[in-house]
Amino acid sequence: MKKKLLFISILIVSLNNLGTTQTWEELTLPQFNSDSITETFSITGFDNVVYLCSDLGLFASQDNGTTFTNLTFGNGPTANLPIRSVFMDVISNVLYAGGDSSIFKSTDNGSTWTEASAIGLGFINKFERIDNTIVAVHGDFSGASGIVYSDDEFSTFSNGNIPNNGLVKGLLVSDNSLIASGYGGIFRSADKGANFSQIGIGYPTTGTNFWNVVESNNMLFAGDVWGKGLYRSADMGATWVYDSINFNDFCQVFDMESGRGAVLTVQDGACNNGEAIKISTDGGATWTSALYNLNPAFYNQLGRNADGSCFFAYARFEKKLYRLCDAPLQLNEAEIASIQVFPNPTSGVLHLNNIEKGTVNLYDLHGKLLKSFMNSSNSLALDLSGYDKGSYFLHILNNKGSKTFKVIKN
């Protein structure tokens, strides 16, 4: 049964003054039967839930990470298994969880689970939805790696083709295509995961392992965990530029996250300045330390909630989880009172008035950018007829500030 959203909520983004002191808040580490997690694999938000994937299975938080409930480790086919990735398909109301070799799914928000047809794979590292297809990338160092995709909620699945069948860690929907990252390169699929080809020049194709790829301000970012630093692309992956100033020397970029005009990275101390957490709010042109009140440590995991208002960081050796909800974003605090978005819900064209010259970004509930518009007038007609039914975030940026609407496509 498809999830029905019976209300329209408008989210007003309060952007921080860049002079404000930012604060990471330590959270209580999730536990199962008095055992605390030792390893996190991903932290991500869908709608109003923050999910944490760990060696003790999948945890869910209804209060933005303050408290967590375990969904998988107790019984059923997921009992005692680590969960490495999660994806909530709000269109079909199916929750997917990726384990060490299998995909599991739940139709009751994680109360019960079944093992899907996709078994015997490598680590299930990430999911994405494009049109009516769910795509998962998998891989570990045992040799089992690749792409799987399904149009029937993984009752059946097909294997995608990728050069060298390499280990794949990252997956992103961008410009109506899929971008995957992993061992030796960046790859793109224009046919919903069936076929991938290597894209881009400017990064090494040997001796690199890009564990993640993110998008922010129309820029793509890919970080190499094997020490060759950070690369960014302004032309959708055709060419990549190495950041030799902020991520030089032997620089291992362990994870990245983007949200609301900001990009955060975690890396080892061999990088320039030895900053364990960095942030950019200008598309990677400049970077500053995002440690703020934290001590230098090994932070190996980043995450965010669905609307990008809060980031999460995990310190592996200290076994500590932190939340940052006042990151400096792209614009100083300002009020935008007159923007109009209608009709909402809509089955087709969405009209935007009083938006002035600026950028209009359309995101899914996972916070992934679907489309970006550089608007040069005071109004815009946005055709949503080609998008699936469900809820989306519409983020409007101009020289006065920022405002985010949740819009519903019927």
Asked if 109 and 177 sit in the same domain, the reply is yes
Distance CA 115, CA 124 (A): 13
What is the per-residue pLDDT for 399? Answer: 56
Same domain as 375, residue 355: yes
Q: What's the Rg (C-alpha) of the chain? A: 20
- pLDDT of 139 > 80? The answer is yes
15 confidence band (pLDDT: 50, 70, 90): very low
pTM greater than 0.85: no
Kindly report the CA angle at 28 between 297 and 213, in degrees rounded to 5? 55
Whether residues 27 and 15 fall in one domain: no
Instruction: Identify whether the C-beta of residue 51 lies closer than 8 Å to the C-beta of residue 86.
Output: yes
Average pLDDT over residues 21-42: 93
Total residues belonging to the chain: 410
Give the tens place of pLDDT for each residue, 187-237: 999 999 999 999 999 999 888 999 999 998 789 999 999 999 999 999 989
What pLDDT, on the 0 to 100 scale, is given for residue 14? 33
* pLDDT in the model for residue 330: 46
pLDDT higher for 190 or 184? 190
- Give yes or no: residues 13 and 28 share one domain: no
Same domain, 179 and 307: yes
Choosing from 269, 301, 324, the residue where a domain stops is 324
353 with 285, same domain: the answer is no
Sign of the torsion angle spanned by Cα atoms 18, 278, 99, 61: negative
- The CATH number for 5's domain is 2.60.40.3080
Partners of 147 in the β-ladder: 137, 160
> 398 falls in which pLDDT band (50, 70, 90)?
low
Q: What is the pLDDT of residue 158?
A: 96
Q: Residue 357: pLDDT above 80? A: no
Average pLDDT rounded to a whole number, residues 341-355: 88
In the numeric block, the tokens 């932190």 are attached to 322
Please give the Cα distance from 94 to 3 (Å, whole number).
9
Residue 6's pLDDT is what? Answer: 24
Look at the chain and report how many structural domains it folds into. Answer: 2
Mean pLDDT of the chain: 86
Task: Choose one of 263, 295, 324: the last residue of a domain.
Answer: 324
245 token code pair: 């100033």
More confident residue, 13 or 227: 227
* Residues 400 and 307 occupy one common structural domain: no
Q: Tens digits of per-residue pLDDT, 315-346?
A: 999 999 999 998 876 443 344 557 888 899 99
Residue 371 sits in the same domain as residue 299: no
* One domain, residues 101 and 169: yes
- Domain residues for the domain of 344 are 1-20+330-410
pLDDT mean over 383-399 = 82
Q: Check residue 7 and give its pLDDT.
A: 24
Residue 12 sits in the same domain as residue 25? no
Q: What is the pLDDT of residue 10?
A: 26
Pairing of strands 85-89, 94-98: antiparallel
pLDDT in the model for residue 47: 83
Q: Considering the chain, what percentage of its residues have pLDDT values greater than 90?
A: 59
Amino acid 196 reads F
Identify the pLDDT of residue 401.
57
pLDDT digits (tens, 9 = 90+) for 234-254: 998 999 999 999 998 899 999
Tell whether 206 and 345 lie within a shared domain. no
Q: Give the 3-state secondary structure of the chain.
A: CCCCCCCCCEECCCCCCCCCCCCEEEECCCEECCEECCCEEEEEEECCEEEEEECCEEEEECCCCCCCEECCCCCHHHCCCCCCEEEEECCCCEEEEECCCCEEEECCCCCCCEECCCCCCCCEEEEEEECCEEEEEEECCCCCEEEEEECCCCCCCEEEECHHHCCEEEEEEECCEEEEEEECEEEEECCCCCECEEECECCCCCCCEEEEEEEECCEEEEEECCCEEEEEECCCCCECEECCCCCCCCECEEEEEEECCEEEEEECCCCHHHCCEEEECCCCCCCEECCCCCCCCCEEEEEECCCCCCEEEEECCCCEEEEECCCCCCCCCCCCCCCEEECCCECCEEEEECCCCEEEEEECCCCCEEEEEEECCCEEEEECCCCCCEEEEEEEEECCEEEEEEEEEC
What separation in angstroms does the CA of 288 have from each of 254, 268, 284?
17, 15, 10
pLDDT at 370: 81
Which of 324, 350, 367 marks a domain boundary?
324
Query: 61 with 137, same domain?
Result: yes
| Per-residue pLDDT at 166 | 67
What pLDDT digit, counting tens, does each position of 71-105 carry?
Answer: 999 989 999 999 999 999 988 899 999 999 999 99
Query: Domain containing 60 — which CATH number?
Result: 2.130.10.10
pLDDT tier at 9 (50, 70, 90 boundaries)?
A: very low
